[in-house]
Each structure stands twice: as C-alpha cells, then as structure tokens.
Structure 1
C-alpha cells in the first residue's frame, strides 16, 4: 500500500517538477513546435489555478494553530501577531496568483490557436 505523502512532501514534489521543467526547457528543442508550448502552458495554468485553494487552506491551518495556542515563536514575538502576518502575506500571495492566472489564461488562449507551419523546422 503506498504511503500518503505529507503536504510538505507534495509541495516539494511540485517545486521539483517546476525545477525539472526549467531545466528541460533550457534546451531549445524541448518545445519543438507551437502545440508543445501550448500544452505546457495549459498544464501551468491548471497548476496556478489550484494554488489559491492550497494557500487558503494553509492560512486556515495557521489560524487554527494560533487559536489553539499551538504556536511558539523562537524569537519571542507574539504568536497571534505572527499568525496574522502570515495570513496577510498569504492573502497577498493569493491576489498575486490571481493576477498571474489571468495573464496565463490569456497567453494560453492565444497559444491554443497556434499550429505548426507546414515547412517548420526545429531550431
């Protein structure tokens, strides 16, 4: 039976996947034709569109930890204030992701209409 991954392990897997994408796309032949670019961007759109939910749920976890007195700050600062800061920054991140999503959706929409010219050569 496969072991269930923790949230941190799943986030690490996502980060590693983006690192691998960055590495493979250094090679100009990794995306040889426009449909390959479109397919890749479509997958990134799906990933980005899922981030706000994850960030909201993480923010909720921090809020619950603060409400139950589970947070101790190693620098002696107020745990409730720190939890509030985290929630505020995560809300900002959600707004930023929403802006990113809009731009990616527009790019994906244009890419969706791109095909490969008949005399195309991979460069």
Structure 2
C-alpha cells in the first residue's frame, strides 16, 4: 500500500511539473476536462481510503508493544491522528464538488480551426 500511495504522490507531482510552465501537453479543452475529472474522481475516493486507514490505525491500539517515541500515550496519539483524518475527510468533501463543477463547465468548450 505504501507503493500505491507513493505513485499517487508521484502522479500529482508530475502534473505539477508538466503544468508549471506551458500547457502540460493539453491541446484541447476536452483534455483539460478529462484531467480535472480524473482529479475529481481521485478526490472523491479519498474519504473511503482515509476512513479505512483510520481503522487500521485504531487496530494498532490492540498491540501491546505500541509506543510513541515522544513518550506520549500511544492511544492518545492514535486518537489524535484519527481525529485529524476525520477532519481531512470533511475537507475532501469540500474539494470534490467544485472540481466536478469545474469539469462540467469545461465540458462545454471546444476549439474551432483558425
């Protein structure tokens, strides 16, 4: 799973690098629409992934050897992390809708020759 998360990070980094100067190889509004839709689809899937990762974190509280290298209560650390993940899930919900709306707007555009 670490590899897959790394690939997602690499994909976003590649988009950032391709679009920092120039068009990133996007020649038509429909291609921009497709990229935005793909990003929206990714964002829409994040809540499930984050929720499931929070559940995995909760599962570590059953391990007798769980510790926090700062000397804090590790169960409190897990609770803090899952609270932050819940906040992230809410934030993702706010992000997905405008991405979808942007893609819907872009879907009406085209280019004529000339």
Following the alignment from structure 1 to structure 2, what is the Cα–Cα distance between the partners of residues 22 and 94? 23
More helix by share: 2
In the TM superposition, residue 103 of structure 1 has moved relative to its aligned partner by 1.1
How many residue pairs end up in the alignment? 113
Which of 68, 71, 76 is equivalent to 2:71?
76
Following the alignment from structure 1 to structure 2, what is the Cα–Cα distance between the partners of residues 63 and 69? 13
Which of 37, 43, 61 is equivalent to 2:38?
43
TM-score of the two chains, using structure 1 as the length reference: 0.85
CA RMSD of superposed structures (Å): 1.3
In the TM superposition, residue 70 of structure 1 has moved relative to its aligned partner by 4.8
Task: Give unmatched runs, 5+ long, in structure 1.
Answer: 1-6
TM-score of the two chains, using structure 2 as the length reference: 0.91
In the TM superposition, residue 108 of structure 1 has moved relative to its aligned partner by 1.1
Following the alignment from structure 1 to structure 2, what is the Cα–Cα distance between the partners of residues 118 and 70? 67
